[in-house]
């Protein structure tokens, strides 16, 4: 399960995903609602949550970091960056 991998690898060595051609570190998450998203598909929900599909259910990304940037909340990431990533 994605949430357990993020939790188990934080703070080191850190779970990660691709954002364009950059490696995005994933530090914190919590289980999201049971919604119909493809694995790796992102959704910025009305509840101000950054959700990613996981095959079964979703995970809310609550703390992420891009190279050369400070850690930020999933909400701040969704507000400031284009949501065109696929988790790998």
Q: What is the pLDDT of residues 18-29, one digit of tens each?
A: 877 889 899 999
Report DSSP state, residue 79.
H
85 pLDDT exceeds 50? no
Tokens in use for 51? 């959700």
36 pLDDT exceeds 70? yes
Report DSSP state, residue 55.
S
Residue 76 pLDDT: 87
Residue 38 pLDDT: 87
Name the burial class of residue 14, with classes exposed (0-12), middle (13-18) and buried (19+) by CB atoms within 10 angstroms of its CB.
middle
Contact (CB, 8 A) for 7 and 15: no
Residue 87 pLDDT: 41
How does residue 84 score in pLDDT terms, banded at 50, 70 and 90? Answer: very low
Specify the pTM: 0.81
What's the chain's average pLDDT?
84
């Amino acid at each position: 399960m994605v949430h357990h991998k993020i939790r188990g690898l934080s703070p080191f060595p850190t779970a990660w995903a691709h954002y364009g051609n950059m490696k995005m570190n994933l530090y914190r998450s919590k289980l999201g609602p049971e919604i119909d998203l493809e694995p790796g598909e992102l959704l910025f929900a009305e509840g101000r949550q950054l959700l990613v599909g996981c095959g079964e259910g979703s995970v809310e990304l609550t703390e992420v970091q891009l190279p050369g940037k400070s850690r930020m909340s999933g909400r701040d990431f969704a507000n400031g960056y284009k949501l065109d990533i696929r988790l790998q």
